[in-house]
Amino acid sequence: MDNYSRIAQAIKYITDNIESQPTLEDLSKEINLSPFHLQRLFKDWAGISPKRFLQIMTVNQAKKLLDESYTILDTSEKLGLSSSARLHDHFVSLEAVTPGEYKSDGDGLTIKYGTHPTPFGHAFIAITERGICKLNYYDEDDTQNFISELTETWPAATIFESDKSTEPFIKQIFYSSNKKSKPVSLYVKGTNFQVNVWRALLNIQPGHVSTYGHLAKYLGDKNASRAVGRAVGANPVAYLIPCHRVILASGVVGNYRWGTIRKKALLCWENAMTQKIKAQ
């Protein structure tokens, strides 16, 4: 079992038993690790203790993050965040296909894909010369389905496996601490509405969350919550287009295309990293 699998098991136990406030000893028995090794593993992965993680998972904390995020979204354009967002040491820029490129179905486009471990489990990533076009998490090998999705989205493109080509992107996204690293570029295909929603997601900073309703209001149609939800669910690039930062208005984390436990792990890890940076 890899470290993320152990962390995911711990997170599931914490969230399933949040009302009883499980102790480190309760948690260590559940995942069959000593309290010492569990504490060390958890802090190495999240930068915080399991106890602090439990505090972050509370509804009150989620509501606090919601209040803060509303301010961020409402002022994002004034802050120059309309097309990129700070993600630890990386900037993410998003480029949508043009109408002509959309119509061509990827004719002349070369897509390379690979699978790699990340701090949040295994990932499937696909890249083009213009940027990353797909990033998916998976718990069981789902490579063939991901390839089928690529072929459906880009039927005229040349698609082939190249872990050697995709590995540097994974390292830059998840493991690089170089503040001078190049921006991470995304190249996505979607309707105008979907792309607008994905751009709005880039304005939600790490350590913050928003709701479907507020995103709809931000985009100029307060009645479009369901349409926003569908667009969020259609996000082709996990983590970098941070759809995991959208939760229910009640503060409940809710569903996630790549697993609710993974979503909670992402949110709490980002919250912990943000607090750590502020404390420096």
The angle that helices 3-16 and 35-46 make with each other, rounded to 10 degrees, is: 100
Query: Can 268 be counted among the known catalytic residues?
Result: no
Instruction: Give the three-class secondary structure for 188.
Output: strand
**The one catalytic residue among 243, 247, 253, 267:** 243
Do β-strands 84-87 and 90-96 pair in parallel, antiparallel, or remain unpaired? antiparallel
How many Å apart are CA 266 and CA 168, to the nearest integer? 21
Both tokens assigned to 105: 């179905």
How many Å apart are CA 200 and CA 203, to the nearest integer? 5
Under 8 Å between Cβ of 169 and 123: no
How many Å apart are CA 54 and CA 42, to the nearest integer? 12
How many Å apart are CA 48 and CA 82, to the nearest integer? 31
Under 8 Å between Cβ of 19 and 54: no
How many Å apart are CA 175 and CA 247, to the nearest integer? 26
Under 8 Å between Cβ of 184 and 64: no
Instruction: Tell me which DSSP letter residue 119 carries.
Output: B
Please give the helix or strand (H or E) that residue 153 lies within, else none: helix 143-153
How many Å apart are CA 174 and CA 208, to the nearest integer? 19
Q: Which residue has the tokens 């100029």?
A: 220
Task: Catalogue the active-site residues.
Answer: 243
